[in-house]
Amino acid sequence: MALGEPIKIGHHSEHRHRALIERNHNRMHNAVALSKKAESHESKAEYWAKKANDINLSMPESLEYYEYKLIAAVEKHEGLKNGTIPRSHSFSLTYAKKERNEIEDKIRLAKKLWA
């Protein structure tokens, strides 16, 4: 049920009434479109906020970063190996070795790119 007075066909106010309905329809359409655009921008802003502190191989500072990460990975791997760090599960040592190898690979690639 529509609230308000119906359009009076042939009345002098018909054109103004139809224009009002069209104008309000366009305004609502624009409001929905801008709302969707705002959600899109918020989503992009959240994504880039999460990425703000990420360092990857496309950045020159990645060499320094991965060298630092390698020190921590080596210490963890050696600690798990010699028993100073307790193993949380049976694959802890395997995962630590894998992480160490991946970081060493990234360092080799970063050196090719940036050194």
Listed by start position, the domains of the chain span 12-54, 62-114
pLDDT band at 1 (very low <50, low <70, confident <90, very high): very low
pLDDT over 70 percentage in the chain = 97
Rounded CA separation 35/28 (Å): 10
pLDDT band at 2 (very low <50, low <70, confident <90, very high): low
- Are 58 and 88 in contact by the 8 Å Cβ rule? The answer is no
Q: What is the pTM of this model?
A: 0.57
Helix axes 92-114, 62-82, angle to 10 degrees: 160
pLDDT tens-digit readout, 73-94: 999 999 999 999 999 999 999 9
Three-state SS string over 39-76 comes to HHHHHHHHHHHHHCCCCCCCCCCHHHHHHHHHHHHHHH
